[in-house]
Structure 1
Amino acid sequence: MPETLDDIMTRTSELLTDRDMAALSTLMAELSTTDAVRVLERVDSSRRAVLFRLLPKDEAVAVFERFDATVRGELFESLRSYDVIALFEELDPDDRVELLDELPSNVAHRLLVGLSPDERALTAPMLGYDRRSVGRRMSPEFVRLRTAATAGDALDAVRRTGSDAESVYLLPITDDHRTLLGVVTLADLATAAPSTPVGDLYSDHPVVEADSSAEEAARLCFEHRSPAVVVVDSEQRLIGILTLEQSSRILEEAEDEDAARAGGSEPLRRPYLSTPVLSIVRSRVVWLLVLALSAILTVQVLEIFEHALAAVVTLALFIPLLTGTGGNTGSQAATTVTRALALGDVRPRDIAAVLFREVRVGATMGAMLGTLGFVIAGLVYDWHLGVVIGTTLLSICTLAATVGGAMPLIAKKIGVDPAVFSTPFISTFCDATGLIVYFLIAKAVLGV
């Protein structure tokens, strides 16, 4: 029966405690790349450095490339300088750039200068682009073809240089000035007659400029079900490609950020079990403080309508139900619209259509919940109170769905991350407005 990850972790911990380096070296050599990554992510930084040094060289590079940039930076600080330089040279240019972003500027400069001239020429230009741009995440290593080449020449070029390229499944074609003309797939080359000019085979393909958002480029890659998208500069000269694998990583990071912010915290920059407690606290406490301060609005609303609560104490019993329903309704709408924005299904200019749809959705759900609330409150307490609860649920659901649907679109329009309008924020907003609606309806129906 194969060992589980827990078994491997237990054995690793015991060998580290016993300082049995020979057995540890054997164990690390036997692990698959995936298992090695999972083991090293779950140990503290000092033990991680020890275990990493025991990996075979080729395996060490493969494992290192799978780490998050923050973990890579911590590991670099624990390794000896000549180990660091050798490892840095082996990385792909896009991985180097991601790592340099996490290191102190003096360390990053030293590593960049230590690269061979060819590798430095590939890496340095990428640092000139914005951190969220595709120019920062692309690969400058690819097989470039010219229109004069034949299919046979192209396949020979793939055999000669393909091992150094990020991908050979999509091959860009340029003129002598590197201006992009089109692309050809490896499958097209393989099925064409060797004498066929590649100029007869190429086709149009999704192209993005290096200053474009990396997330948008990644989504374009998936939308077209392409092995890569081509990256050009402002003069339409070929400078790189973004592969499907890179796109998948970018989208995964974006979804992690959105999920964290939707829960009212900042995304962790390293694996959870190896993240210090204080780092986790910092990622959460800012939003909690903001939400705690905004919750004062709810307290003030209750204070304003204190006389209504004193007159009809039963009103207080339904406050959790109403505020919870409003918050959940708003959060559902915000999450749905944020997701639609990310997928390109809606844009800020579609706000009228989105609002009209969310008003109908909220009103329909409110009518269903309101009917239920009316019956329960009427049977258990009083039919006048049932009218208050039913009408409030209808109003709150309609308002919350409308506001929740609008906020991500407004955020996108003004250049703010829609995920910032997270579930806790909308819940707090709906709490305050929901209570105002509740007490105004109670005042009108019950005369309190």
Structure 2
Amino acid sequence: MKFSRAQLSWILYDMANAAFALIVRTVFAPMFYKNYAAVGMEPATATSSWGLVSSAAGIVAGILAPWLGAVADANGGRKRCLGGFMAAGILAVIGLCFAGTGDATLVLTLYFVSLVSYMGSNSFYDSLLVDVAPRGSLHRLSTVAYAWGYIGGLVPFFLCLGIMFLAGSDSMGGMKASFLIAAAWWCFLAVPLFRNVRERRSGETISPLDGFRRLAATAREIGRYRNVVLFLIAYFLYIDGVGTIFMMATPLSVDIGISSTWLLCTILALQFLAFPFTMLYGRLSRVVPARTLVYWAIGVYVLVSLLCGVIPSLTSPTHKLWVFLAVAFLIGTSQGGIQSLSRSLFSRLIPRERASEFFGFYNIFGKFTTVLGPVLIALAAGVTGRSEYGITLLAIPFIAGGILLGRVKIPGSGKEEA
């Protein structure tokens, strides 16, 4: 499949924000928080606080995105909203460089702002999929973007690893340099999207107050879109677990005693693994219904949840490490596929002229909007003192999400969902 300039520019943004997803959210912000900012806090308390802040960020992003989406759809401002969120996120990431030992509140606040901005920008980025891809190539373009996003995150990550190698694996200065690298990468690779992607305009102009009215009207009438509602609930149940596992991987690894070196090497290997498997999901979507592929991925994550529950019962550090590596391998095989195919499936269910508004609701229910999972982890940590058991509890919403997904009627599913 040959991509147009607009499509390539859209793909590049997935590579751009991958720097934040990998360097800041997954690796160095949690490490910085656990090793420096949260010094003196109980490990389980620090982990649960990180999770609760992540949940709060998801809720705020989920509230802002539909309202701004309603305004942006009418005024042709999706790229402007994307740019505003992106700028706020980049500034918050740079702000992390001014935090130090014991600055837990400052780090949590800046991380909250950056995460809200990241998820908000992603909502508008996702909505542009319907502008750059014809209906028949939605699954293909979505999976390719996710796959190259993994590779795009690796380039700055390698640079960060080099700095950490020279400065020391737990160096505060090295972590702060990594924040700057992530911010610069996010900004630089986003430029082509703003230059080359053209969004459809409705020809009307509405005020922010009108945006609230339109959002309220959509909320009232969304019940008419039965398949959209069912999909969103199903998506929330299973993708919240995906986001939780991804977002909490670093603090959980610290809790179970995985060294920083093993963690960084595992995340690096996972990025390499995720690229071919995400591309494989895209190719399989030509011959296997996309919903079936999502079922496969959900099954993998149920297994991941159960394996995490085994870790606290292991006494040998070596055995814990091997289970940790097995979990990482399984995540690498399915993380990109479940996200990319869910995004393209949703784009088939919604009216294209209201893509931002509907993708705003999509952002409430998912797109790494982790709400339920971190609460389960905090609950498990409070009751048992072991945050790993919260991951095991995620098997329940994973299964429930898969059951609800089966009730969604997808256009063309009688023959093919591609």
Answer yes or no: same fold by TM over 0.5.
Answer: no
Is the strand fraction higher in 1 or 2? 1
The structure that has the greater radius of gyration is 1
The alignment's TM-score, normalised by the length of structure 2, stands at 0.24
Is the helix fraction higher in 1 or 2? 2
The alignment's TM-score, normalised by the length of structure 1, stands at 0.23
Greater RCO (Cα-Cα under 8 Å, separation 6 or more) = 2
